[in-house]
Amino acid sequence: MVPLLSSREDELVLLDLTEKIILWEEDMLQLLALRERRRSTGATRLNTNSSRSHMLLLLRVTGEHTVNKTQSRGTLILADLAGSENVSKSGSVGRRFQEATCINKSLSCLARVFDSLRKRLKPAYRETKLTYLLKPTLGGDAKCLVLENVRSEPENLDETLRAIQFGHGALQVAP
């Protein structure tokens, strides 16, 4: 879990993280491999390699025009979110139960942020670290794309429908 601070300008500061300069494709591939090794996973009744955490990758891209030397900047946040978990089906207990509870809470809060933005209300970004970290990507002139993985088995219909509703809520956020 990453400790967070907020500066006076409401800029987010992440403690204990390192910033890497990426110049080549190989640099990026090495960073992604490191990210995958550090990802928290664990076994549940439904999945032997279940994600037990969300993973965010923040890319700051800087470019310079070759003729007039003007600089441009952009930020891309890639968020690989752990899926919601039905603990009665997954059999999660102890630490796995606590992980599932945290994951489900953060996803529920993100859904509420989508709902608030859709209704043009003030979202509760500070309710979880996930929503606070994703704040720059939600609303305003930011662009947000949500891709979801769902299971097709009939016994997972309830979870699949909830995932589709979550994605639909994100889709309804007007720019």
- Best CA proximity match to 90, nearest among 99, 77, 81, 80: 99
Q: At what angle do helices 157-171 and 95-118 cross, to 10 degrees?
A: 40
Strands 50-51 and 55-64: unpaired
Q: In this structure, which CATH number among 3.30.360.10, 3.40.50.720, 3.30.930.10, 3.40.850.10 belongs to the domain 4-171?
A: 3.40.850.10
Question: Tens digit of pLDDT for each residue in 129-171?
Answer: 899 889 888 877 888 888 888 888 898 898 899 999 999 988 8
Rounded CA gap, 25 and 127, in Å?
A: 36
Q: What is the mean pLDDT of residues 56-70?
A: 88
pTM of the model: 0.79
Measured in Å, how far apart are the chain's first and last C-alpha atoms? 31
Mean pLDDT, all residues of the chain: 84
- The token duo for 101 is 């509870």
Q: What is the mean pLDDT of residues 63-91?
A: 88
Give residue limits of the domains in the chain: 4-171
Residues 6 or more apart whose CB falls under 8 angstroms from that of 123 comprise: 112, 113, 116, 117, 131, 135, 138, 139
pLDDT at 165: 92
